Amino acid sequence: MMHSREKMICSILLLIILTSCVSGTFVVNVTQSSYQAEEDQDITLEWTFTTNNHSSSNSLNVFCELLAVLKNPGLFHLREGVEVPESRHEQFAGRVQWDKDVLREGRLRLHVSRLRTNDSGLYVCKVLTRYGRNSGRCRLNVTAARDRPKPETPNTTSPPKTTSPPKPTSPQQPESLGWMVFYCVVILCWLFFCIFLEKFCKKNC
């Protein structure tokens, strides 16, 4: 009886040790630890994980999400090699595609289109297989699109330039007017002289 118990305990310990060793060799990495993009752009997030020749992708379980304060929006869910689109959060609805062909190579590529500023944050992908489990994280920073100046268009509706009419100039006085004034002054002087001379003669005569 004691021998069978000891044998069972040894088997359990051996199973735990083997599981720990196998899990320790299963690694999930990210090709980039940080991504930078602008609003409305597309981006590809990629993870790599250890593969096993004796296991197929049908036994693969993957769950990727955006770590948030209140609730973690689900980005991608793969259950036993089959995508579960119902697990995707409405924030990413219709904006996530993945490459099935590279999954057997130990690569998980997620294409996220039409990025938004609230897509920024820390993304984690948890990979679970029959031979181990692990997770990898990467950060995405989405900035607002830069304001692009609009090209200037010629204003065709502006009124045409008008020139003001020349100011009227005062008519030039004829040169003969000066001579007429001169003659009048001479005649007046001559009349005064004649009157004065006549009075002088009467007084002395």
> For residue 42, what is the domain's CATH number?
2.60.40.10
What domain range is 27 assigned to?
A: 17-143
Whether 90 maps to a domain, the answer reads yes
Whether 148 maps to a domain, the answer reads no
Whether 38 maps to a domain, the answer reads yes
Beta bridge partners of 147: none
Whether 2 maps to a domain, the answer reads no
Q: What total number of domains does the chain contain?
A: 1
Three-state secondary-structure class, residue 76? strand
Whether 60 maps to a domain, the answer reads yes
For residue 70, pLDDT over 70 is answered with yes
Whether 3 maps to a domain, the answer reads no
Whether 76 maps to a domain, the answer reads yes
Nearest to 28 by CA among 56, 53, 62, 73: 62
Provide mean pLDDT across the span 186-200.
Answer: 76
Phi, psi of 163, rounded to the nearest 5 degrees: -105, 135
Whether 77 maps to a domain, the answer reads yes
pLDDT tens across 74-117, in order?
999 999 999 999 999 999 999 999 999 899 899 999 999 999 99
Q: Is the pTM of this model over 0.85?
A: no
Phi, psi of 87, rounded to the nearest 5 degrees: -80, -10
CB count in 10 Å sphere of residue 18:
10
* Alpha helices in the chain, H assignment, sequence order: 2-25, 176-204
Q: 56 with 161: CB under 8 angstroms?
A: no
Nearest to 109 by CA among 58, 42, 56: 42
DSSP 86-139: GGS-GGGTT-EEE-STTGGGTEEEEEE-S--GGG-EEEEEEEEETTEEEEEEEE
What integer pLDDT is reported at residue 37 of this predicted model? 96
